[in-house]
Amino acid sequence: MLLEDCRGNVERALSSIAWRGVDGPAQDLQAWLSAVITFQGSCVDMFPKGEVRDEVNNTMEKAREVSSNALAIIKQGAALASMLDLHTSLDKGGRQLEEKEKSASSSSSSVPTWVPSEERKLLGAKGERRRAALTPNVTVAKDGSGDFTNISAALDAMPEKYSGRYFIYVKEGVYEETVNITGRMANVTMYGDGSKRSIVTGSKNIVDGIRMWRTATFAVDGDSFMAMKLGIRNTAGVEKQQALALRVKGDKAIFFNCRIEGNQDTLFAQAYRQFYRSCVISGTVDFIMGDASAVFQRCLLVVRKPRPGQPAVVTAQARRDHQQTTGFVIHRSQIVADEQLASSSNSNKSGSAPVNTYLGRPWKEFARTVVMESVIDGFVHRQGYMPWEGKDNLGTAFFGEFRNGGDGANVTGRKEMQGFHVMGKDRALQFTVGHFLHGADWIPETGTPVSLGLSGEEE
């Protein structure tokens, strides 16, 4: 089973390149090759320590070198385009970015017609009164008033082929089930009545003998998935250790106005490109982890109290190769402590030690995490970041900050940390949605509000 999972992940990433060809934009090729490296490394992680793992590691290391070299060649740009038959498509995204940045915040023609009227201003539809209602393909309702009473049944009934987007409306209710958006389910939009009203919940965890990546309450493998106004939870307690609420392995995934709640490893942003807007994400240790290219914009990140003796850590990014285009970007968001952690961080009540909280730690050698134009509350440790347990890997990681505010944004204590960088504007621009995700090519068309640049640059 482990070998099948491993092979399936790598083959899927490679098939994206084989199917769509090397004539796609350079950013697509970089995203897919980065995912190949991610899955090659994940294959090794799946196996317990021993001879089999060593053999898999040797094989995957050779494959990683090939993928890394291919990424390096693509990054050299148009000068080497003829070698890979990329031609003018290499800079397609770059040529169009400026025009799309200008139109993304003002265009209303792309706003989905199913969005409630009170949400339309948030979706950039000021002054528009597009009343045409779009009927969802299927409706899920616990009370029996829809087509299905659970989400999994609605997904199982999806046709093998369909044109355009497939809309699933989830009515108010608590749905206790494991939801899987499989690789064949592309262009699915799932929306609810609110992140506190339409809730998917589960409690799978590793202590009960389930492998980490299989504990997810909600798993996304299909490309171009969009979720809106949904709550996703894993209610396993802190003593159950790793327990995913959400795992995302689909390219160009979007989560808007969602609430993702758990403890350790709440969100596994596993691979490919992902965008989170106006979401609430809560957890204890490494609660945003993985090796996706992911931007969290205007999100509220709520740090909860971990098990005794554990630090609280927001991110654990897993970039394995310096050529990969992956990383986590927290942009125009707020990082806060919940009430229980806040009291623990400021006192020694009941003889317990205060909890140290960090913005991130490097899960893999070339981990990359950026926090910019965000508010960091004062409960965060002055050093900001910590090494992975038992490893000295801060030196190869990249932790960048730019123009943050709040009592926890003072970088004086960070400067002594290896891998930490106070970024200037030019470097910060590299991590905007427009440049890091090439988001102008795929986010505005969904109607999701997005800031493609830095504050004041395009709004």
Give the neighbor-by-neighbor strand order of the sheet with 327-331: 138-140, 166-170, 188-192, 226-228, 253-256, 273-277, 293-297, 327-331, 368-372, 398-402, 420-422
CA distance 437 to 30: 11
Catalytic annotation on 265? yes
Catalytic annotation on 286? yes
Catalytic residue of the set 221, 223, 251, 286: 286
> 3-state SS of the chain?
CHHHHHHHHHHHHHHHHHHHCCCCCHHHHHHHHHHHHHHHHHHHHHCCCCHHHHHHHHHHHHHHHHHHHHHHHHHCHHHHHHHHCCHHHHHHHHHHHHHHHHHHCCCCCCCCCCCCHHHCCCCCCCCCCCCCCCCCCEEECCCCCCCECCHHHHHHCCCCCCCCCEEEEECCEEEECCEEECCCCCCEEEEECCCCCEEEEECCCCCCCCCHHHCCCEEECCCCCEEECCEEEECCCHHHCECCCEEECCCCEEEECCEEECCECCEEECCCEEEEECCEEEECEEEEEECCEEEEECCEEEECCCCCCCCEEEEEECCCCCCCCCEEEEECCEEEECHHHHHHHHCCHHHCCCCCEEEEEECCCCCEEEEECCEECCCECCCCECCCCCCCCCCCCEEEEECCECCCCCCCCCCCCCCEEECCHHHHHCCCHHHHCCHHHCCHHHCCCCCCCCCCCCC
b (16+ CB within 10 A) / e for 42-72: bbbebbeeeeebeebbeebeeebeebbebbe
Q: How far is CA 191 from CA 116, 210, 227, 292, 444, in A?
A: 11, 29, 6, 23, 17
Catalytic residue of the set 28, 221, 265, 321: 265
Query: Which residues are marked as active site?
Result: 265, 286
